[in-house]
Structures are given as structure tokens and as C-alpha cells.
């Protein structure tokens, strides 16, 4: 979900500075990649990142390829190049690999417009079914990792049948759970 700000690199720096000085910011979102968690025209309240960074399942704002983006953190990978954060929109199949220093803020509350002007509600961000799914998968992976064979990362490497089946199952559950998210209106 693209944020309704200019796409200039200075915008991210201004937002980061505003978060440092004021401790928060409110921004209008534009796009459908986080539907129904966030919808076009809704406003999100941003807070600074905690020292340990974002947790799995939390909504974060990061510098994307072309603009600032708000998506859900679904996984953390640690490799020889350091840690990589993987984000995904709730209504989006695309996964984005982001360096931790490109994450600017986390979403702490959502301002949901009312059916009539002046009836807006501000809701604190609470863990939903997708948050619990990603956290459970991540913890399960951490427990089972010592028992699994070492992954081969050679160029052109394709996962075997078990790897493909587990990815397909993960993706299918992700899609079903995304479809069950309720509209906050």
C-alpha cells in the first residue's frame, strides 16, 4: 500500500525525523494491497520502531523501490549478508525483501472513517488471524530448523517436492486467511 506522500527520498527522511522529534505521525494511505486491514483513504498512526525492530505480523512503513510502503512483516531471514525482512500486503501476492535500515516506522493505530463525517474511530492495531499465522509458522520453523537439511542456495537451485509442497500449502493458507479478515467498518 503506497503512502500518499511525495516519492522523493527526502520524504522518508522527513518522516523519520518527525517520528524522532514528535514520537508519531499520521498519514493517509493510498492503494488496495492491504485490504481489508487498511483501505484507501484511511489514516494510519505511526510510531517509532522499538529497539528490537518490528515483530513478525506487525505492520511497518519502509522505503520501497519507488515510494514509501506499508505492509505486514511476514518473515525474517538471516544470511551471510545480514538480516533481511520480508514484507507482504494482505491482498497482495508479492513479497518484498527489505533491509532493516529501510524500515522507518510501525503502524500503531488505524483511523477508520465513519459512515457519516465526524464519526471516525481510531483503533489500536491488534494481532489478527494473519499475525498469529505468521508468528506460529516462524516459531515452528525455528523449532524444526535444526532437524531440517541445510538449504542449497546455488544459482538455479529449485526446491524439491517437499519444499514445493510446503510452499504451496503456506501460500494456500495465507490466501484463505487473507480472505477471512473482517472489514473494520
Q: Would you state the pLDDT for residue 134?
A: 94
The residue written with cell numbers 494473519 in the block is: 130
* Phi (first) and psi of residue 46, to 5 degrees: -105, 145
| Low-confidence winner among 58-62, 136-140, 166-170 (lowest mean pLDDT) | 166-170
Tell me the pTM. 0.85
Q: Class of the 2-180 domain?
A: mainly beta
Q: Would you state the pLDDT for residue 151?
A: 66
Question: What count of other Cβ atoms lies within 10 Å of the Cβ of residue 87?
Answer: 23
Residue spans per domain, the chain? 2-180
Query: How does residue 9 score in pLDDT terms, banded at 50, 70 and 90?
Result: low
The residue written with cell numbers 522523493 in the block is: 8
Coil, strand or helix at 41? coil
Q: Would you state the pLDDT for residue 185?
A: 54
As a whole number of angstroms, the distance between CA 72 and CA 54 comes to: 10
What mean pLDDT do residues 43-56 have?
Answer: 89
| Low-confidence winner among 38-42, 51-55, 117-121 (lowest mean pLDDT) | 117-121
Residues 108-161 have pLDDT tens digits of: 999 988 777 777 888 889 999 999 999 999 999 899 888 877 766 666 677 778
Q: Is the pLDDT of residue 7 over 60?
A: no
Tell me the C-alpha to C-alpha distance, in Å, between residue 43 and each of 11, 85, 110, 123, 134.
17, 24, 6, 11, 25
Coil, strand or helix at 184? coil
Q: Would you state the pLDDT for residue 152?
A: 64
Mean per-residue pLDDT over the chain, rounded: 84
The residue written with cell numbers 538455479 in the block is: 156
Query: How does residue 64 score in pLDDT terms, banded at 50, 70 and 90?
Result: confident
Question: What count of other Cβ atoms lies within 10 Å of the Cβ of residue 43?
Answer: 17
Amino acid at each position: 500500500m503506497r503512502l500518499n506522500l511525495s516519492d522523493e527520498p527526502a520524504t522518508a527522511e522527513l518522516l523519520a525525523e518527525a517520528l524522532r522529534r514528535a514520537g508519531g505521525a499520521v498519514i493517509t494511505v493510498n492503494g488496495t494491497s492491504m485490504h481489508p486491514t487498511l483501505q484507501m483513504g484511511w489514516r494510519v498512526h505511526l510510531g517509532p520502531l522499538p529497539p528490537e525492530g518490528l515483530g513478525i505480523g506487525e505492520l511497518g512503513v519502509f522505503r520501497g523501490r519507488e515510494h514509501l510502503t506499508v505492509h505486514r512483516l511476514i518473515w525474517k531471514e538471516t544470511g551471510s549478508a545480514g538480516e533481511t525482512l520480508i514484507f507482504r500486503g494482505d491482498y497482495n501476492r508479492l513479497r518484498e525483501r527489505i533491509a532493516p535500515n529501510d524500515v522507518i516506522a510501525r503502524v500503531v493505530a488505524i483511523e477508520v472513517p465513519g459512515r457519516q463525517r465526524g464519526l471516525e474511530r481510531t483503533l489500536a492495531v491488534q494481532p489478527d488471524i494473519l499475525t498469529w499465522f505468521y508468528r506460529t509458522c516462524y516459531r515452528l520453523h525455528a523449532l524444526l530448523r535444526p532437524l531440517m537439511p541445510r538449504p542449497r542456495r546455488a544459482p538455479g537451485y529449485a526446491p524439491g517436492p517437499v519444499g514445493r509442497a510446503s510452499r504451496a500449502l503456506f501460500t494456500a493458507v495465507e490466501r484463505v486467511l487473507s480472505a477471512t479478515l473482517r472489514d473494520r467498518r
